[in-house]
Structure 1
Amino acid sequence: MNLEVRMKILEDKVDNETINWMMENFKLSVKQQIEAVLTKDELQHLTFLCTSEVDSIGRLTAGILWLLKLEKCAALITESSNSESSLVSLTNIKELKQKLDNMHSLLLQLRVQI
């Protein structure tokens, strides 16, 4: 079974809280020929389920990023108390910032593609 969903963001400005989008195209295909008839209510329910799954992916990703950020920050706070490791801490902070920026960028791309 193949499923293709194309969604379109309705606004140019994307904030961290919500994105207004609409379904542009919905394709469903199977290897063997079948016939399916959906009512408008059933299609709306299917759309609701798809939207919920997309929202869940976003929440899971945000939660994982949050945990990674907290774990690394706690380690950096501990390291920063040692004056010997301040150069290492600075390097770790820069590396952490770059990774978080990359993950944030990937999350935004995922939201646009979905």
Structure 2
Amino acid sequence: MNLLAALFSHAHSDASMRILHGYTSIGLMTGVVACVAAVRIQVSALHRWRAVAIGLWTLLNASFLVVNTWIAFQGMGISNGNLFHLAIAGVLTANLQLAQAIYREKIDVSSLSGDAIWQSK
């Protein structure tokens, strides 16, 4: 939906925009939770640089969450909204990939090695 919003920016009603941004905020919240779990896994596996990288990704997710939630409450009218929707689509895609990597390993956060997140099957 965010890709469509990027292509057809502001060609929708205010109510549909608020719904889209509301659901996007929910998606970003799950991304933040996945990132926090990934940081914990990397720290427990003593992969400090990976933990730092995912920690920075967590901050980016949190920043997008705050801005996106603000847009959901304030309404339309931000400049370069199409670029924002494109960036949100990219962040959500990366979050989905991270969550799937964690899910595939059937995580027990206390015992999983940090390498599992970086490997794809």
Quickly name the TM-score band, shorter chain normalised.
Answer: 0.3 to 0.5
**TM-score for both structures, normalised by structure 1:** 0.43
**TM-score for both structures, normalised by structure 2:** 0.41
Higher strand proportion? 1
Greater relative contact order structure (CA < 8 Å, 6+ sep):
2
Higher helix proportion? 2
- Kindly name which structure, 1 or 2, has the bigger radius of gyration based on alpha carbons: 1
